Amino acid sequence: MAVNKAMERKWILEVLMVVLVVKLCALTLSVSAWLVIQNQPADLLSLWNRWDAPHYVAIARYGYTAVGEQRLFIVFPPLFPLFIRLTALATSSYELAALLVSNLASVLASIYLFKLARLDISESASLRSVFYFSIFPTAYFLIAGYSESLFLLLAISCMYYARTRRWALAGITGMLSTATRLTGLALVPALLSELLQQRTHQHEQNWNAVMAILMTPLGFFAYLMLNFAVFGDALAFTSIESEHWFKHFAPPWVGLFGAIYGIFWREPAEVVLICFAEILFAGFALACILYAMKFRISYCIYMLFSFIAFTSTAFWLSIPRYTLSLFPIFIMLAALSERKDVLHYAFSIAFASLFAFFTILFTQGRWAF
């Protein structure tokens, strides 16, 4: 037992080393790029407080409202802003609190990813999955004040607890995930798949699993009640998504055709970042979903429902960022590269190059998903 605990600490320390080194490199890169490109002093908090990040900060500071520009922020579920607000009590800076919550959550998410991967692959390959997760092209959102880190911590831990038959914890983390991002609802069919795969003659165990599955959507229902309390309409967020962000439900191929058509009329930068990037990452995600069918069916189901959720819109936007939430990808890539080292080098070079490129774009205030 002592040996096992010692090995556990060893691997956790290695996970922390990988994650923290990548974060340090990204932070250094962001400051260096700003100094060279802008030729002026850099403010680390400002560099990483971009695009949606100030919206989360505004919710944490002022709450939700039905008037003014602040009313638009109802599209962002409440759990991440709540954690920012609580952390700001100690930091007195909401921007710093957002970065602290995001980075701490991503560190914990990496540990859970390692533990989840270790259920299927070797410890060295599990560490490799954390490495891919940390350098994924859009992994800079694990540093910025976005809800990705918190959501991934909750989604990965939910799946880990389900796989290890600790269903009460799976239900709690699943419920919190749906209060963080709506794609947490994809965990419901995934958990149902795990229940069917693990089903035993122990009726208490099966009942605990059913209760966990029923608990998971409660975070989303709480979000609907928040919409109703603020706007008098439980689905207020959907109309604001459509009116302000031009996103409304449509079959995935509508968004795909729109991205393809945009190649012929958008400006060059938009062609790369709004057309080619969206199509490339959607294709990559779909390929991983198909491969997951023979890896583990619950992973396939989670990724498929998530993919349908973020591609079923007339205007594809931020698919590279949403692909980061398909965490089984990193376990499957680690399993593949364990058999062929050349794949490890290919994944590492491709991911790290794009990660550096997009990090610079994001921290320079350019659109990067």
Tens digits of residue pLDDT in 264-290: 999 999 999 999 999 999 999 999 999
- What is the reported pLDDT for 243? 86
Q: pTM for the whole thing?
A: 0.96
What local confidence, expressed as pLDDT, does residue 299 receive?
98
Q: Which residues contact residue 232 at a Cβ distance below 8 angstroms, ignoring those fewer than 6 apart?
A: none
Q: Are 118 and 163 in contact (CB under 8 A)?
A: no
Averaged pLDDT, 150-164: 98
pLDDT, one tens digit per residue, over 125-147 is 999 999 999 999 999 999 999 99
- Structural contact between residues 303 and 281, judged by C-beta atoms closer than 8 angstroms: no
What is d(CA 254, CA 10) in angstroms, rounded to the nearest whole number? 49
Q: Which residues are CB-contacts of 119 (< 8 A; sequence separation ≥ 6)?
A: 160, 163, 164
**CA-to-CA distance for 303 and 292, rounded, in angstroms?**
9
Q: What pLDDT score was predicted for residue 8? A: 83
* pLDDT above 60: residue 21: yes
Please give the mean pLDDT across all residues of the chain: 95
* Cα(216)–Cα(222) distance, integer angstroms: 11
Residue 199 has pLDDT above 90, yes or no: no
Residue 245 has pLDDT above 90, yes or no: no
pLDDT at 205: 78
What pLDDT score was predicted for residue 247? Answer: 82
- Which tokens is 30 given? 């962001």
Mean pLDDT of 364-369: 96
For residue 325, the 8-state DSSP code is T
Dmax of the chain from CA atoms? 67
Give the pLDDT mean for 242-267. Answer: 92
Which residues touch 3 (CB under 8 Å, ≥6 apart)? Answer: none
Identity of the amino acid at 239: S
**What pLDDT is stored for residue 3 in this prediction?**
53
- 249 pairs with which residues across the strands? 313
The answer on pLDDT for 204 being more than 80 is no
Q: Which residue has the higher pLDDT, 97 or 245?
A: 97
Report which of 101, 50, 75, 107 is spatially closest to residue 242, judged by C-alpha positions. 75
What tens digit of pLDDT does each residue of 293-341 get? 999 999 999 999 999 999 999 999 999 999 999 999 999 999 999 989 9
The Cα–Cα gap between 109 and 155 comes to: 9
Confidence grade of residue 202 (pLDDT, cut at 50, 70, 90) = low
pLDDT of 1 > 60? The answer is no
pLDDT given at position 38: 96
